[in-house]
């Protein structure tokens, strides 16, 4: 039996989410056509059970990071409920670091499941940081027209030699 390393699994997930997912492609196309002109970002939540939730036109603001996108989506009815767990109280940029533990009641059963994040086709990972100083590494900012994808993924930890 072949054991995949985490980087291999992540690469496969990026490909699957952005290439073989027609809803994700639709979101990306719609947002690229209208979002940049209207000053909005899109959010796609993939629960990995056949259900997806999309927010196509979330108001963008300067310095906006992924946590801000989640908060904006939470404020729109019917909204988005998410829970998080702090992994670091303060990094060198003064930001709190954390992981998403649950979205709309769907919990990530760590260490085997994680909510993974992409901005467009750029993989961000599972750990996020509050905005703080968005120019420092750890809190990538979103731009008008960007699509944030958050997907529940089952990952296999790298085996120890």
Radius of gyration, alpha carbons of the chain: 16
CATH of the domain at 81: 2.170.130.30
* Domain contains 66: yes
* Domain contains 17: yes
Domain residue limits at 105: 6-154
* Domain contains 1: no
What is the residue-level pLDDT of the chain in tens, covering all 161 positions? Answer: 444 444 444 444 444 444 445 556 565 555 556 656 678 999 999 998 889 999 988 999 988 888 889 999 999 988 899 888 877 666 666 666 778 889 999 988 867 888 989 999 888 888 777 655 544 455 688 999 999 999 999 876 554 44
88-94: which pairs have CB atoms within 8 A and are 24 or more residues apart?
91/129, 91/138, 92/136, 93/129, 93/132, 93/133, 93/136, 93/138, 93/139, 94/132, 94/133
Domains identified in the chain, total number: 1
* Domain contains 30: yes
* Domain contains 80: yes
* Domain contains 48: yes
* Domain contains 160: no
pTM of the model: 0.72
């Amino acid at each position: 039996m072949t054991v995949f390393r985490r980087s291999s699994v992540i690469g496969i997930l990026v490909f699957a989410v952005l290439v073989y997912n027609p809803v994700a492609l639709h979101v990306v196309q719609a947002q690229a056509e209208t979002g940049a002109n209207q000053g909005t970002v899109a959010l796609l939540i993939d629960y990995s059970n056949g259900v997806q939730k999309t927010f196509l036109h979330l108001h963008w603001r300067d310095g906006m990071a992924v946590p801000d996108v989640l908060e904006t989506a939470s404020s729109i009815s019917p909204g988005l409920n998410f829970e998080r767990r702090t992994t670091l109280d303060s990094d060198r940029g003064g930001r709190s670091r954390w992981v998403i533990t649950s979205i709309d009641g769907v919990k990530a059963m760590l260490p085997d499941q994680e909510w993974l994040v992409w901005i467009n086709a750029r993989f961000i990972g599972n750990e996020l940081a509050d905005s703080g100083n968005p120019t420092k590494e750890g809190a990538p900012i979103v731009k008008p027209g960007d699509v944030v994808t958050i997907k529940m993924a089952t990952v296999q930890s790298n085996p120890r030699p």
